[in-house]
Amino acid sequence: MDKFVVCGGKPLAGEVTICGAKNAAVAIIPATILADGPCRLKNIPDISDVKAMFEILQRIGASVEKVDDNTYIVDPTTINSCEAVFDLARNMRASYYLLGALLGKRGYARVAMPGGCFFGVRPIDQHLKGFASMGAEHRLIDSGDAIEVKADRLIGGYVYMDVVSVGATMNVMLAAVKADGTTIIENAAREPHIVDLANFLNTMGANIKGAGTDVIKIQGVESLHGTTYSIIPDQIEAGTYMAAVAATKGRAVIKNVTPKHLESITAKLREMGVIVCEGDDSVSVDATGGIKRCNIKTMPHPGFPTDMQPQAVALLSVAEGTSIVNEAVWESRFQYVDQLLKLGAQISVNGRIAIIDGVKSLTAADVEATDLRAGAAMIIAALCADGESTISSIKYIERGYDKVVEKFKGLGADIEKVSV
């Protein structure tokens, strides 16, 4: 079993380069299914979720060529199956994008019910509602272990999302791009990776307008051609390193970012007293003057991202004063707090509210990554702790962070991956 060993108590300094966005890549990769020719994807993050998605495409017949760690060519014209009911798909949340892509391309899909990190009920009812608005039918099969969607012909429809859902918004976009007529998504999610997916589809010949707003209009087209496309930088990876630098009271430059995508994170860091300066494609973070308390409420974009909540709690654990964090997106996303308590953090949780009493320093301990972003929070906390900490279940961290040990080492962190 692999673990991370972290010796903390040292400010981070230097620079780190951010990779392509995980949440964009895991939707854009299955979106290649819709093309009538090869797609060259650049700035792909070198993470296990992405590798799994490419393997899923290969399992259903696509040709996938790895050019280098961050560039792949996908030829979907060899796909010979619309079924992904194997464990690889079942263990990955983003496998549900296969439903929209295969339905849009072939009018049929059978996909294992998705898994991924657990931090609350994550239903796909809004996805199915969107498919139904275009004339698709669905049913659970294999004792509820898989879902089947089909339509003789998809016709543009109207769907109002009862809750703002990134996954449902993107899945409906995938199904709608080749439907007859116009599809309108109201109360759509507005995250940067939704815009990135729309831009990717548009470079293939799709007609999508309004991505990044709460109303998206998709005029169906007859065919989509292959393309070359570069994924946007990962805002959550960038925010994680910004939080880590701040927590260790360090100073560093975060490169290859889109500063506008980081505005909510930057605003909260500044509220904590951190100096953040924005460049064209970089941000510098200076927390050498210390950090102070701050209240945070997670919200859909452009609010503070729920995927940054655990990292923010780790940061506030060593801030001066008492902070309150309100998790307004997921109902069970404080499960990791018990691990921070092992490191000496002072946190109490009541439902969706966490109250954090900042301490001067944390103490080394053996902790576990309970999910992807919680794992990132453990690294941040361990970097602030006196002594040597170990982090187990690092498979969750490697699902979403490209070369995480190498990048933290580049900032001066004492961190190693060991097999035990």
Contact partners, residue 67, CB within 8 Å, separation at least 6:
40, 73
Give the H or E element holding residue 388: strand 388-392
CA 19 to chain centre: 12
Residue among 38, 46, 37, 39 at smallest CA distance from 68: 46
**Token pair belonging to 52:** 């799994």
**Token pair belonging to 416:** 């190693």
Alpha-carbon gap, residue 149 to 99, rounded angstroms? 7
CB neighbourhood size of 307 (10 A): 23
Look up 117 and say whether it is catalytic.
Answer: yes
Alpha-carbon gap, residue 194 to 34, rounded angstroms? 17
CA 228 to chain centre: 22
CB neighbourhood size of 334 (10 A): 23
Looking up tokens 């050498």 gives 288
| Residue 312 CB-half CA count within 13 A | 32
Alpha-carbon gap, residue 92 to 117, rounded angstroms? 8
Residue among 296, 343, 355, 291 at smallest CA distance from 320: 291
Between vectors from CA 359 to CA 396 and to CA 375, what angle results, nearest 5°? 0
Task: Indicate which residue of 19, 39, 82, 117 is catalytic.
Answer: 117
Strands 322-326 and 353-357: antiparallel
Active site residues: 117
